[in-house]
Amino acid sequence: MALTSQLTPVLSEHWDEARSWTLASYERHDGYTALRTALQTSPDDLVKLVKDSGLRGRGGAGFPTGMKWGFIPQGDDKPHYLVVNADESEPGTCKDVPMMLASPHQLLEGIIISSYAIRAKQAFIYVRGEVLHVIRRLHQAVREAYDAGYLGADILGSGYDLDVLVHAGAGAYICGEETALLDSLEGYRGQPRLRPPFPAVAGLYSSPTVINNVESIASVPFIVRNGVAWYRQMGTEKSPGFKLFSVSGHVRRPGQYEAPLGITFRELLDMAGGMREGHELKFWTPGGSSTPLLTAEHLDTPLDFEGVMEAGSMLGTTALMVFDETTCVVRAVLRWTEFYAHESCGKCTPCREGTFWMVQILHRLEHGEGSEEDIVTLLDSCDNILGRSFCALGDGATSPITSSVQYFRDEYVAHFEHGGCPFDPMASMVVAPVPVGARAL
């Protein structure tokens, strides 16, 4: 039976080493040995290897990575591109940024192998513009890789050429949506494209393009180095492998936990030291703010694509935001909805108008000025956005609302019955209050 219940540090194994981000440190731990193996393997065999491993995309949807690569037409005369999605912007999601900071060469080695497999000679890393420290580190790693002969012309004497360009976005959540990302990379305003055609056929500059998440691509060298059987020992039959779980909120030890898919939320919470002293679990997100909330009833949910779906939510980006009984669910949902209204690109009416109005209603409800009718209108708005929006941002904006009303309708009602929010926001703060008279830093 595959392993599902303990930590399996692979991507994060050497993060705590001094200067772990340097080429020297990466090479000390067999870095770029998978590239040497890959360059002696045919591109088709590499695509098959990744297909056989069962690796599923880590950007949220869990689409099989090898299958996506297999859609790239072969023998055509168009250039092929690999685009790494490093836009990481969903509330709670914080796995790609720490990975690129601690070990950017993992990603680069993955990029070179993946580009070779899809016969691309140009790859891009589209990184969120606000994370300047990450952008600098990526630039430094790319420079080191060129100097060492891992990038550029005739890589390691194999005859294969590849250039990598680090592109900083301007900081928009929608530019993480893969087709909006392509528009942004081409220099247009980042808005989703109509599909078909899909990027594998007509992506960047209308050429065949693979877009993958940072963690998906960074996993590839380890699969090449250790093989399919090793990879499949971890995780479950349909969701194999290791995964970075980002645990935040009211837990004793928030942070990145790398564990096999299928670990239960209860096990992961135990590893994070449990809930903060004297408090109990109220609700949590399995994969960022666009995945429906779950509650204490769902503690034994296996954190894999199938297990979380069965519980009524989605694995998403495995960003586990954990909230205790001091948190007002209406206030939390209002915050997230403000985020979606702000980040809506405005291309389609249900999302552009709907997120704006949902913020107004939630604001009224949170301040005790709402009514039963507001809850009905809120749910009706969600009905009109879900499945009627141009992209998944609109759908995602409805998840926290519908799931919070499903589990905590009484709390919504208590706000207008009580004439205001019954919670003390200070009680849910995890930062110690500044003592009176203390100097601001």
Ligand X SMILES: Cc1cc2nc3c(=O)[nH]c(=O)nc-3n(C[C@H](O)[C@H](O)[C@H](O)COP(=O)(O)O)c2cc1C
Residue 85: contacted member of ligand X, ligand SF4, none (CB under 5 to 8 Å, by partner type): ligand X
Cα–Cα distance, 97 to 184 (Å, whole number): 20
Q: Give the residue, chosen from 107, 120, 211, 321, that forms a contact with ligand X under the rule CB under 6 A.
A: 211
d(CA 379, CA 370): 14
Contact 44, 28 (CB under 8 A): no
| Contacted by 60, from ligand SF4, ligand X, none: CB < 5 to 8 Å by type | ligand X
Query: What does 87 interact with, of ligand SF4, ligand X, none (CB < 5 to 8 A by kind)?
Result: ligand X
Binding site residues, ligand SF4, CB under 6 A: 174, 192, 344-348, 351-352, 389-391, 393-394
As measured in angstroms, the least distance from the Cβ of 333 to ligand X is 18
Distance between CA atoms of residues 162 and 147, nearest Å: 13
DSSP letters spanning 317-367: T-EEEEEETTS-HHHHHHHHHHHHHHH--SSSHHHHHHHHHHHHHHHHHHT
Residue closer to ligand X, measured from CB, 87 or 366: 87
Residues 381-410 that bind ligand X (CB under 6 A): 391-393
Cα–Cα distance between 70 and 2 in angstroms, integer? Answer: 27
Choose between 177 and 267: whose C-beta lies nearer to ligand X. 177
Residues 6+ apart with CB under 8 A from 130: 171
**Residue from the set 30, 42, 63, 429 that interacts with ligand X by CB under 6 A:** 63
CA–CA dist 31, 34 (Å, integer): 7
Nearest to 306 by CA among 317, 314, 298: 314
Tokens coding 422: 């019954």
Nearer to ligand SF4, 53 or 398 (CB): 398
**226 CB burial (10 A radius; 0-12, 13-18, 19+):** middle
Closest to ligand X by CB, 141 vs 391, is: 391
- Half-sphere CA count of 253, side-chain side, radius 13 A: 10
Instruction: Select from ligand SF4, ligand X, none the partner in contact with residue 92, using the beta carbon and a kind-dependent cut-off of 5 to 8 Å.
Output: none
Q: From the list ligand X, ligand SF4, none, which binds 183 (C-beta under 5 to 8 Å, kind-based)?
A: none
**Which residue of 46, 111, 174, 200 would you call a contact of ligand X, by CB under 6 A?**
174
Q: Which of 109, 144, 177, 374 binds ligand X (CB under 6 A)?
A: 177
209, 212, 313, 398: residue in contact with ligand X (rule CB under 6 A): 212
- Enter the DSSP assignment of 240: B
Binding mask 82-111 for ligand X (x = CB under 6 A): ---x-xxx----------------------
- The least distance separating ligand X from the CB of residue 9, rounded to whole angstroms, comes to 21
Tell me the closest approach of the beta carbon of residue 331 to ligand X, in angstroms: 23
Q: Whole-angstrom Cα distance, residue 11 to residue 20?
A: 12
Nearer to ligand X, 89 or 106 (CB): 89
Query: SS3 for 133-193, per residue?
Result: HHHHHHHHHHHHHHHCCCCECCHHHCCCCEEEEEEECCCCHHHHCHHHHHHHHCCCCCCCC
Per rule CB under 6 A, is residue 220 in the interface with ligand X? no
CA distance 127 to 168: 5
Structure tokens at 359: 């913020």
Name which of 177 and 304 has its Cβ closer to ligand X.
177
Span near ligand X by CB under 6 A; candidates 130-138, 171-179, 360-368, 377-385: 171-179
208 is a site residue for ligand X (CB under 6 A)? no
Footprint on this chain of ligand X (rule: CB under 6 A): 57-61, 63, 85, 87-89, 173-174, 176-178, 211-213, 216, 391-393
